[in-house]
Amino acid sequence: MKHLTVRQRLSALLTGALLLGAALAPSAPASAQAPAPTTWTGTWATAPTTVPKTDTTTFRDRTIRQIVHTSIAGTALRIRLSNEFGKQPLKIGEVRIARRAPGTDEPTIDPATDRRLTFSGKSSVSIPAGAPALSDPVTLRVPARSDLVVSLHLPESTPGSTVNSFAAQRSYIAAGNVTGDTKIEPQSVTERWYFLTGVSVRATSTGPSGTGKASAAVALGDSITADTTLGTNHRWTDYLAQRLQGPGGPRHPVGVLNKGISGNRLLHDPNPPAGHPAEAYAAYFGESGLKRFDRDVAAQPGVRHVLVLLGVNDLGHPGNIAPLSEKVTGQDLIDGHRQLIARAHERGLRIYGATITPFKNDTLGFYTPENAAARQTFNHWLRTSGEYDGVIDFDAALRDPADPERLLAAYDSGDHLHTNDAGREAMARAVPLRFFK
C-alpha cells in the first residue's frame, strides 16, 4: 500500500482551498533513577504549534502512545513535555517510556525496557499554561536511530492544545490508563504528536572514533524539513543523522533535532484572510521562525549547530492563504535571515543557511516569475555574502540541470515543490560533514 507523505496530503487540502538493540542494565529496577549528568544532548525533538478554533480534540481518561525516532545513543534519558499553547494546567497522571518491540510497526513495547517517568519524584505532573516540564532522569540504554514509545495518561478533560499536526508518524489513543501495557488496543489513531516535544540523553559514542563531547544540531524549517513518507523516518534530518555516524562523520556524537513545521514561514505567523478555508488549518503552520527561534532552537539541550531552510512559504502564501500585504522580496528574506544569524552568534552557536529549493509549476500556485526572482536574489546573497557560517546548497543538489527553476524529476514528490525520499537523501548528502567536526 502506498503511503502519501503528510505534505502531499496537506498539498491536496491546500490545492482544494486554493481552487476554492540495547536494553536497561539487568540489575536496575523499573523505577531506577540515573545520577543526574552535568550535560544532556537532544536525540529527538519536534516543534509544537497551537490549534485552530475548529479543532476541539479533547482527551479524558485516555492514554496517548507516541512513537519517536532517536538520532544518537545514550545511557540515560529524560523527556520534555509542553503546555505551550494550553489555556489551563495540563494534568498528566502517568508517563512511561520504553523501547519499541523489535520487528514490529505496532505500538508494542519491549517490556524489559519499560520505565515509569517521574517529575520531581512524583509520577504525576501538572504543567502550568504556557510552560514546559522536564522529567527526572532515568537509566535506560537507548540505541542510536531507534524507536522509543512514550505513553501519557490524561485523567481529566484535556484539550489537545499543544501539538505537531504533521508528524508523519502514527500515535495511538486508548481508553483508560494503559501506559504500562505491552500492547494496547487503540480506539483511534492519529498522525500527530501531543504535548511531547523532546527527548534528551546522556550521550554515548556512536561515531567511527567516538571521542569528544556530544552536541546537537537543530534544523529550523518548514514542510521540506518536516516531511517524510508515513512511518519511515526518511526526513532529510534522519538521513543526516545516519551520515554523521558513518565514515567521514565527526569524532563525537551529534544529535539531529528536527524543528520543521509544515507551512511555516520565517517572517509571519499564520494569517488566513477572514472566511478563507485556511482558517480551519493555518494555525498548524506555527509561529514564525523569528518568533520561535529562542524556544525551538536556542533552548535545545546541547545545541551547538543550527541549520536553516526557510523562505519558500514566505514567497508562496501571500495572495493564496495569507494576505497580499504580507508579500515579501528577496531582500526581506535576507533581512530576516540576518536576524537569525545575529541571534545564533549571540549565543555562541554556529549557524548554516540553506538555499531555497526550486518550485516551478508547483501545484500550490507558489510559482511566479516574481517569486522566482526573489528566490534567486536570496540564494545569491546566501552563497556569496559569507554571513552564515556555512552554506548548504539544497538548490544545487535538487534542481533540474535542464531547467534550474524546477526540481529534478527523480527527486519530485509529484507536487513540484516537495521532495520524495530520494530527494531527502540527496539533501542530507548536500550537508558538509566538516561543519560538525
- Of 166, 308, 307, 150, which is closest to residue 244 (Cα–Cα)? 307
Q: Which residue has the cell 533552548?
A: 299
pLDDT (0 to 100) of residue 23: 36
The CATH number of the domain holding residue 282 is 3.40.50.1110
Quick one: 414 and 279 in the same domain?
yes
Quick one: 191 and 325 in the same domain?
no
Quick one: 140 and 242 in the same domain?
no
Quick one: 360 and 423 in the same domain?
yes
- With a CB cutoff of 8 Å and minimum separation 6, the contacts of 423 are 398, 407, 408, 410, 411, 412, 413
CA–CA dist 315, 390 (Å, integer): 23
Quick one: 421 and 316 in the same domain?
yes
Is the residue at 141 inside a domain?
yes
Quick one: 177 and 238 in the same domain?
no
Distances, alpha carbon 4 to alpha carbons 1, 71, 172, 252, in Å: 10, 24, 19, 36
- Of 169, 239, 236, which is closest to residue 418 (Cα–Cα)? 236
List alpha helices for 202-278, DSSP H: 223-226, 236-244
Inform me whether the pLDDT recorded for 17 exceeds 90.
no
CA–CA dist 195, 164 (Å, integer): 9
Bridge partners of residue 62, in order along the sequence = 154, 175
Is the residue at 4 inside a domain?
no
Is the residue at 248 inside a domain?
yes
Is the residue at 227 inside a domain?
yes
Quick one: 73 and 185 in the same domain?
yes
Quick one: 226 and 109 in the same domain?
no
Region 137-153 average pLDDT: 98
Burial of 40 (0-12, 13-18, 19+ CB in 10 A): buried
* Cell numbers describing residue 99: 523501547
pLDDT (0 to 100) of residue 380: 99
Quick one: 418 and 294 in the same domain?
yes
Kindly indicate the confidence band of residue 16, based on its pLDDT and cuts at 50, 70 and 90.
very low
| The last residue of a domain, from among 170, 199, 228 | 199
Inform me whether the pLDDT recorded for 11 exceeds 90.
no
| The last residue of a domain, from among 199, 220, 243 | 199
pLDDT (0 to 100) of residue 205: 58
Quick one: 106 and 152 in the same domain?
yes
Q: How many domains does the chain have?
A: 2
Average pLDDT of the chain? 92
Span 184-237, pLDDT tens digits: 999 999 999 999 999 999 997 544 445 568 999 999 999 999 999 999 999 999
Span 348-405, pLDDT tens digits: 999 999 999 999 999 999 999 999 999 999 999 999 999 999 999 999 999 999 999 9
Is the residue at 283 inside a domain?
yes
Q: Which residue has the cell 531555497?
A: 356
CA–CA dist 380, 355 (Å, integer): 9
CA–CA dist 402, 423 (Å, integer): 17
pLDDT (0 to 100) of residue 38: 45
Q: Which residues in 273-412 belong to E strands, given as ranges?
A: 303-309, 350-354, 390-392, 399-400, 403-407
- With a CB cutoff of 8 Å and minimum separation 6, the contacts of 274 are none
Span 261-284, pLDDT tens digits: 999 999 999 999 999 999 999 999
Region 162-174 average pLDDT: 98
Region 254-259 average pLDDT: 99
Span 33-73, pLDDT tens digits: 544 444 899 999 999 999 999 999 999 999 999 999 999 99
* Cell numbers describing residue 78: 529524560
Is the residue at 49 inside a domain?
yes
Q: Which residue has the cell 522566482?
A: 372
| The last residue of a domain, from among 199, 229, 245 | 199
CA-CA-CA-CA torsion sign (6, 12, 13, 14)? positive
Quick one: 189 and 211 in the same domain?
no
Span 146-156, pLDDT tens digits: 999 999 999 99
CA-CA-CA-CA torsion sign (180, 181, 184, 187)? negative
Quick one: 180 and 261 in the same domain?
no
Percent of the chain at pLDDT exceeding 90:
88
Q: Which residue has the cell 519499541?
A: 100
Range of the domain at 400: 206-436
Q: Which residue has the cell 517524510?
A: 228
Is the residue at 6 inside a domain?
no
* Cell numbers describing residue 38: 552535568
CA angle 309, 86, 276 (to 5 degrees): 60
CA–CA dist 113, 191 (Å, integer): 25
CA–CA dist 218, 272 (Å, integer): 28
The total of other beta-carbon atoms located within 10 Å of residue 35's CB is 8
Is the residue at 221 inside a domain?
yes
More confident position, 128 or 30 = 128
